[in-house]
Amino acid sequence: MTTSLPPLQQWVDEVTELTNPDRIHWCTGSEVEYEQLIADMQATGTLSALNQDEYPNCYLHLSDPTDVARVEHLTYVCTENKEDAGPNNNWMSPADGHAKVDALFDGAMRGRTMYVIPYCMGPIDSPYSRCGVEITDSPYVVVNMKIMTRMGAAPLERIEREGKFIKGLHSTGDLDPERRFIMHFPDELSIKSIGSGYGGNALLGKKCHALRIASFQAREEGWLAEHMLIMGLESPDGETHYIACAFPSACGKTNLAMLIPPHSLPGWKIWTLGDDIAWLHLDEDGRLRAINPESGYFGVVPGTNAKTNPNAFDMIRHDTIFTNVARTTDNEPWWEGKKDGEPAFDWQGREYDPADGKAAHPNSRFTVAATNNPSYSKLADAPEGVPISAIVFGGRRARLAPLVYEAKDWNHGVLVGASVGSETTAADAAEVGVIRRDPMAMKPFCGYNFADYWTHWLSFPDRTDKLPRIFHVNWFRQDGEGNFLWPGFGENMRVLCWIIDRCENRIGAKETPVGYLPEDGDIDTSELDISAATMRELLSIDIAHWKKENDHFGEYLDGFGARVPEALRAEQQRVAEELNQAL
Ligand code: OXD
Ligand code: MN
Q: How far does residue 113's CA lie from ligand 1's centre (Å)?
A: 28
Average pLDDT over residues 42-58: 98
Measure the CA–CA gap between 265 and 180, rounded to whole angstroms: 49
Q: How far does residue 298's CA lie from ligand 2's centre (Å)?
A: 9
Nearest Cα to Cα of residue 278 among 289, 287, 297, 291: 291
Sign of CA dihedral 485, 490, 494, 498: positive
Q: Is 200 in the pocket of ligand 1 (CB under 6 A)?
A: yes
Average pLDDT over residues 227-256: 96
Domain residues of the chain, as ranges?
6-46+71-222, 229-294+382-582, 300-370
Measure the CA–CA gap between 273 and 380, rounded to whole angstroms: 5
The number of the ligand nearest the C-alpha atom of 363 reads: 1
Q: Is residue 524 exposed (0-12), middle (13-18) or buried (19+ Cβ within 10 Å)?
A: middle
| Residue ID of nearest Cα to ligand 1 atom 5 | 249
| Residue ID of nearest Cα to ligand 1 atom 1 | 249
Residues 292, 121 contacting (CB under 8 angstroms): no
Of residues 2 and 356, which shows the higher confidence score?
Answer: 356
Ligand 1 atom nearest to CA at 69:
3
How sure is the predictor about 426, in pLDDT bands with cuts at 50, 70 and 90? low
Q: Is 565 in the pocket of ligand 1 (CB under 6 A)?
A: no
| Residue ID of nearest Cα to ligand 1 atom 3 | 249
The CATH class of the 6-46+71-222 domain is: alpha beta
**Which residues neighbour 406 within 8 Å (Cβ) at sequence distance 6 or greater?**
469, 470, 471, 472, 499, 502, 509, 515, 516, 517
**Which residues neighbour 494 within 8 Å (Cβ) at sequence distance 6 or greater?**
262, 265, 523, 524, 525, 528
How sure is the predictor about 427, in pLDDT bands with cuts at 50, 70 and 90? low
**Which residues neighbour 555 within 8 Å (Cβ) at sequence distance 6 or greater?**
none
| Residue ID of nearest Cα to ligand 1 atom 2 | 249
**Which residues neighbour 375 within 8 Å (Cβ) at sequence distance 6 or greater?**
258, 260, 269, 270, 271, 272, 311
pLDDT of 547: 97
The number of the ligand nearest the C-alpha atom of 298 reads: 1
Measure the CA–CA gap between 307 and 286, rounded to whole angstroms: 40
The predicted-structure confidence for 505-518, as pLDDT tens digits, reads as follows: 999 999 999 999 99
The predicted-structure confidence for 441-461, as pLDDT tens digits, reads as follows: 999 999 999 999 999 999 999
Ligand 1 atom nearest to CA at 199:
6
pLDDT of 1: 65
Measure the CA–CA gap between 185 and 98, rounded to whole angstroms: 9
pLDDT of 428: 55
Residues 442, 246 contacting (CB under 8 angstroms): yes
Pocket mutation for ligand 1, best pick of 203, 276, 396 (most atoms within 8 Å of C-beta): 276
Of residues 422 and 320, which shows the higher confidence score?
Answer: 320
Ligand 1 atom nearest to CA at 253:
4
Average pLDDT over residues 174-196: 98
Nearest Cα to Cα of residue 27 among 127, 118, 112, 137: 118
Q: Is 389 in the pocket of ligand 1 (CB under 6 A)?
A: no
How sure is the predictor about 433, in pLDDT bands with cuts at 50, 70 and 90? confident
How sure is the predictor about 324, in pLDDT bands with cuts at 50, 70 and 90? very high
Q: Is residue 234 exposed (0-12), middle (13-18) or buried (19+ Cβ within 10 Å)?
A: middle
How sure is the predictor about 423, in pLDDT bands with cuts at 50, 70 and 90? confident
pLDDT of 361: 97
**Which residues neighbour 488 within 8 Å (Cβ) at sequence distance 6 or greater?**
252, 475
CA-to-CA separations, 358 to 264, 282, 323, in angstroms, rounded: 37, 46, 14
Q: How far does residue 70's CA lie from ligand 1's centre (Å)?
A: 8
Question: Hey, how many other C-beta atoms are within 10 angstroms of the C-beta on 430?
Answer: 7
DSSP class of 81: S
Average pLDDT score over the chain: 97
- Beta bridge pairs of residue 272: 231, 376
Average pLDDT over residues 490-515: 98
> Tell me, which fold does domain 229-294+382-582 have in CATH?
Phosphoenolpyruvate Carboxykinase; domain 3 (3.90.228)
Pocket mutation for ligand 1, best pick of 182, 226, 249 (most atoms within 8 Å of C-beta): 249
| pLDDT for residue 407 is more than 90 | yes
Nearest Cα to Cα of residue 167 among 381, 14, 383: 14
Question: Hey, how many other C-beta atoms are within 10 angstroms of the C-beta on 302?
Answer: 20
Residues 469, 515 contacting (CB under 8 angstroms): no
Average pLDDT over residues 165-180: 97
The CATH H-level (homologous superfamily) assignment of domain 300-370 is Phosphoenolpyruvate Carboxykinase, domain 2 (2.170.8.10)
Q: How far does residue 123's CA lie from ligand 1's centre (Å)?
A: 21
Q: Is 323 in the pocket of ligand 1 (CB under 6 A)?
A: no
Q: How far does residue 76's CA lie from ligand 1's centre (Å)?
A: 17
| pLDDT for residue 235 is more than 70 | yes
- Whether 78 is catalytic: no
pLDDT of 522: 97
How sure is the predictor about 68, in pLDDT bands with cuts at 50, 70 and 90? very high
Q: Is 249 in the pocket of ligand 1 (CB under 6 A)?
A: yes
| Residue ID of nearest Cα to ligand 1 atom 6 | 200
CA torsion 11→131→156→31, rounded to 10°?
A: 120
Q: Is 248 in the pocket of ligand 1 (CB under 6 A)?
A: no
Measure the CA–CA gap between 98 and 266, rounded to whole angstroms: 57
Pocket mutation for ligand 1, best pick of 207, 292, 361, 436 (most atoms within 8 Å of C-beta): 207
Q: Is 70 in the pocket of ligand 1 (CB under 6 A)?
A: yes
Measure the CA–CA gap between 366 and 346, rounded to whole angstroms: 16
pLDDT of 425: 66
How many helices and strands, by DSSP H and E, does the chain display?
Answer: 16, 29
Q: Is 276 in the pocket of ligand 1 (CB under 6 A)?
A: yes
Ligand 1 atom nearest to CA at 70:
3
At residue 366, φ and ψ (nearest 5 deg) are: -115, 140
pLDDT of 429: 54
Average pLDDT over residues 186-208: 97
Average pLDDT over residues 217-231: 98
Strands 365-369 and 320-323: antiparallel
pLDDT of 250: 84
Average pLDDT over residues 182-211: 98
Catalytic residue of the set 78, 208, 245, 251:
251
Measure the CA–CA gap between 185 and 79, rounded to whole angstroms: 7
| pLDDT for residue 96 is more than 80 | yes
Ligand 1 atom nearest to CA at 227:
5
Long-range CB pairs of 8-13 (<8 Å, 24+ gap) are: 8/133, 8/159, 8/160, 8/165, 11/133, 11/167, 12/116, 12/135
Q: How far does residue 504's CA lie from ligand 2's centre (Å)?
A: 29
Q: How far does residue 577's CA lie from ligand 2's centre (Å)?
A: 35
**Which residues neighbour 194 within 8 Å (Cβ) at sequence distance 6 or greater?**
101, 104, 105, 108, 170, 171, 172, 173, 179, 180, 181
How sure is the predictor about 434, in pLDDT bands with cuts at 50, 70 and 90? confident
Measure the CA–CA gap between 397 and 438, rounded to whole angstroms: 12
Average pLDDT over residues 203-216: 98
Q: How far does residue 536's CA lie from ligand 1's centre (Å)?
A: 33
DSSP class of 340: S
Measure the CA–CA gap between 302 and 358, rounded to whole angstroms: 10
